[in-house]
Homo-oligomer: A and B are copies of this chain.
């Protein structure tokens, strides 16, 4: 007996905390402002998650989950050519609506470089996308187990994202992708 637990509260808090982190970034995150924004208290954040560290882990997992779901929804159909699929992915991920995800993505990568001990599975952020995207570009691969083509394709996307988020020069980055598509064609 006794009062029944309410797991929905933790879930709701996690969802809203993820929104907050996507909006404000990971860098300066602290419990008191976060709690205030979520209409809760630091006390409850530590009650539901056991420490700030675990809260952050949960938020990052949730963000990854959301990103993967959105990507699955928007993956270009298999029927399209590899070029069309590449263009589709670039258009999707470079859209302004994805900026918070992209920002968090880069932030986690940078933090992982400085403090690898906090990210025991840091390679996942790369290889996660590989399984889906590698399959997407299977037909332009040089062999059945070609990891090189997805590596290069993703490098171009990430590199152009880096450029776009820094310079904001969409025209130039879009054209660089055009050029890459052109190279792939010949």
Interfacial residues, chain A to chain B (CB-CB below 8 A)? 24-28, 103, 106-107, 109-115, 122-123, 125-127, 142, 147-149, 151-152, 154-160, 162-163, 165-168, 172-173, 175-176, 178-180, 183-184, 186
| Complex contacts, A159 vs chain B, CB 8 Å | 154-160, 162
The answer to whether B112 and A110 touch across the interface, beta carbons within 8 angstroms, is: no
- Name the distance in Å between A143's Cβ and chain B's nearest Cβ: 12
Copies of the polypeptide in the assembly: 2
What are 29 inter-chain pairs, A to B, with CB distance below 8 A?
Answer: A25-B115, A27-B110, A27-B111, A27-B114, A28-B114, A106-B106, A107-B114, A109-B110, A109-B162, A109-B166, A110-B110, A113-B165, A123-B166, A126-B166, A149-B179, A151-B176, A152-B160, A152-B176, A154-B163, A155-B155, A155-B156, A155-B159, A155-B160, A155-B162, A155-B176, A156-B156, A158-B159, A158-B163, A186-B186
> How far apart are A30's CB and chain B's nearest CB, in angstroms?
14
Q: Which residues of B contact A154 (CB under 8 A)?
A: 159, 163
Q: How many whole Å from A115's CB to the nearest CB in chain B?
A: 7
> How far does the Cβ of A83 sit from chain B's closest Cβ, in whole Å?
13
The docked-state distance in angstroms from the alpha carbon of A114 to that of B167 is: 14
Known: A148-B178, A155-B160, A158-B162. 19 other contacts (CB 8 A): A25-B115, A27-B27, A27-B111, A103-B113, A106-B113, A107-B110, A122-B166, A126-B163, A147-B172, A148-B176, A151-B160, A151-B173, A151-B175, A152-B160, A152-B180, A155-B159, A156-B159, A159-B162, A186-B186
